[in-house]
Homo-oligomer: A and B are copies of this chain.
Amino acid sequence: MPELIFPLDSTKPFTAQEKVGHNRWHPDIPAAVTVKAGDSFRVHCREWFDGAIVNDDSADDIRDAPLAGVHVLSGPIAVEGAKPGDLLIVDILDIGPIPQEDSGPLAGQGWGYTGIFPTLNGGGFLTEQFPDAYKAIWDFSGQKTTSRHVPHVEFTGIVHPGLMGTAPSRDLLSTWNTREAALIATDPDRVPPLALPPLPDSAILGSLTGEEFDTVAAEGARTAPPRENGGNQDIKNLTKGSRIFYPVFVDGANLSVGDLHFSQGDGEITFCGAIEMGGFIDLRVEILRDGMSTYGVSENAIFMPGNTDPQYSEFLAFSGTSVTLDGEQRYLDSHLAYQRACLHAIDYLTKFGYSPEQAYLLLGAAPIEGRLSGVVDIPNACATVYIPTAIFDFPIAPSASGPFQIDPGIGAPHSAF
């Protein structure tokens, strides 16, 4: 095990830990710890809601999820000598649930959860069709997971950090705040909102206090969206063995990480769509001096995925195009096309006995592949979603004998305002 440089105690809340992380992006949040280029180290990560979601059969916790407080991130980790203009090479050496804690009340202690947020508290990819709150608890057994709320499936986790990134510079932060405010201004009362502006309430800013805290809390960017620094990319393929190259915007790079997922389908479609958990991640860092200009990597992270992702060889796939459910034709909208592909998959799965919510939760959590198949054939984009057939314990392909009927069990816990 590499040296543990950011420990968390599962019995204490995020702000009561030995080292306190943060839940906003800002260049002035001080590094919690410093490492050297070439170092390997372990970081504990708290599940993104800091324990607010529990292992039960109610979805009230999802309905009332404290979105203002996310994501509780471990860091910043300063890398000695990293300068703006460099690329920070980050190798994911290992990652997993909370080590040595196989049961307990905290996600990551042998279990995780997937949630569908209600439209009035976050919403999600298919919020028009699924306006209420739902939850599924997933139990871990080694590499694999099952759920009492979505029976008859078992799959191997594709474990990854949903969120990792470097600190923004003052200029970059300003760019973010400006452009996102402009978007919000186009429809400020929208539910769910178009974007999330800085919010001093619930801000956690490491060791900052007093006036500094107040200033940074007022300016700090929310962590929901991915941006130029990586951030909440929710790329399911950032698994063990991956190497990522992050642009460096501040001295020391100030890397932060969190929002670990036991598994996720492409898109993390239910918003809280992965199997959320706390756990650990082992990283090694290197500096590629002046890499941003040398390689033209200044506005995004690039990466080389690991080679131990779960292998599946047979898939059932669904396509969608950019026509709304109401029949309106949109122009080359791959986002809508993927929504339609996912809705088609959900419709299909209900023919076997699943509720639509169970099917939606499954697509968020299982290692499904979501592809931009056609993006140029005006006016319809074509997106496709591929479900591994081996995750079901019954035959899922169409056949002359019709869909096999499963027992859907207790179903997905439901909660509404």
Complex interface: chain B residues within 8 A of A400 (CB): 288-289
Of A75-83, A212-220, A331-339, the one contacting chain B is A331-339
- Interface residue from B100, B291, B376 paired with A398 (Cβ < 8 Å): B291
Bound-state Cα–Cα, A377 to B3, Å = 32
Determine which residue in A87, A194, A295, A378 has the highest number of CB atoms from chain B within 10 A of its CB, and name it: A378
Name the distance in Å between A162's Cβ and chain B's nearest Cβ: 8
Contact status B311-A308, CB under 8 Å: yes
Bound-state Cα–Cα, A101 to B304, Å = 28
- Interface residue from B124, B141, B289, B307 paired with A156 (Cβ < 8 Å): B307
Residue of B nearest to A222 (CB): B378
Contact status B232-A374, CB under 8 Å: yes
Contact status A295-B225, CB under 8 Å: no
Contact status B99-A99, CB under 8 Å: yes
Q: Does A271 contact B (CB under 8 A)?
A: yes
Q: Does A252 contact B (CB under 8 A)?
A: no
Assess A99 versus B100: contact at CB under 8 Å? Given A232-B374, A308-B156, A313-B311: yes
Contact status B378-A323, CB under 8 Å: no
- Interface residue from B142, B321, B351 paired with A296 (Cβ < 8 Å): B351
Assess A318 versus B344: contact at CB under 8 Å? Given A144-B241, A183-B330, A307-B156: no
Bound-state Cα–Cα, A384 to B238, Å = 11
Contact status B142-A331, CB under 8 Å: no
Determine which residue in A40, A271, A311 has the highest number of CB atoms from chain B within 10 A of its CB, and name it: A311
Complex interface: chain B residues within 8 A of A245 (CB): 398
Chain A contacts with B in 32-58, Cβ cutoff 8 A: 40
Copies in the complex: 4
Contact status A302-B142, CB under 8 Å: no
Contact status B375-A233, CB under 8 Å: no
Number of interface residues of A (CB under 8 A): 128
Name the distance in Å between A381's Cβ and chain B's nearest Cβ: 6
Assess A237 versus B313: contact at CB under 8 Å? Given A142-B91, A195-B329, A338-B375: no
Bound-state Cα–Cα, A178 to B260, Å = 46
Fill in one digit per residue for A216-251: 1 if any B CB lies within 8 Å of its CB, else 0. Answer: 000000001111101011111100110001000000
Complex interface: chain B residues within 8 A of A323 (CB): 179, 227
Of A10-18, A130-138, A365-373, the one contacting chain B is A365-373
Chain A contacts with B in 156-179, Cβ cutoff 8 A: 156, 175, 179
Chain A contacts with B in 293-316, Cβ cutoff 8 A: 294-297, 299-316
Q: Does A94 contact B (CB under 8 A)?
A: yes
Bound-state Cα–Cα, A269 to B124, Å = 28
Assess A344 versus B297: contact at CB under 8 Å? Given A144-B241, A225-B377, A338-B334: yes
Q: Does A2 contact B (CB under 8 A)?
A: yes
Contact status B313-A175, CB under 8 Å: no
Complex interface: chain B residues within 8 A of A3 (CB): 102
- Contacts from A to B (Cβ < 8 Å): 1-3, 40, 87, 89, 91-94, 99-102, 124-125, 141-144, 156, 175, 179-180, 182-183, 192-196, 224-228, 230, 232-237, 240-241, 245, 266-271, 273, 282, 284, 288-289, 291, 294-297, 299-321, 323, 327-335, 338, 340-341, 344, 347-348, 350-351, 369-384, 386, 389-390, 397-400, 402-403
